Amino acid sequence: MDALDRVQLQRLQATLEQRKAALLNQLENDAEAAETLATSVHELEASPADNASARTLNELVAEAAEHKTAQLRLVRHALDKFAGGNYGSCENCGDPIGLSRLNARPEARLCITCQTRMEKIRK
């Protein structure tokens, strides 16, 4: 499989930069929403049911933020690989990661063969 050309690399890097900006924006919005929710719950005399609902909602917001933070970590890692000149190479075997895989998941760290092998081990 051939290495990625300059245009493909630029497009993938731009996609990752857009994802990074979107994730940072979402995390900021989530933090503001959680703060607003916490303030509004504390301002009211809430029933036990309202408190339980607020706790559940806070847990869901926190879980979503953890997921977005993990995604952001992967995106930043991929962007760092551009700086190191090794973007598009599998971190396990060193072979090129296919363009179709990178188009679908530009933050991919492994080629499809190594990813499949790792998923089978996890099961």
Q: 48-92: per-residue pLDDT in tens?
A: 777 777 778 778 888 888 999 999 999 999 999 998 999 999 999
Contact 101, 7 (CB under 8 A): no
| Rounded Cα gap, residues 23 and 29, in angstroms | 10
| Confidence bin at 1 (pLDDT 50/70/90) | very low
The partner residues of 96 in beta bridges, in order of sequence, read: 89
| Confidence bin at 24 (pLDDT 50/70/90) | very high
The residue to which tokens 């609902």 are assigned: 53
Phi, psi of 98 (to 5 degrees): -60, 145
| Rounded Cα gap, residues 18 and 34, in angstroms | 24
**pTM of the entire predicted model:** 0.79
Contact 97, 110 (CB under 8 A): yes
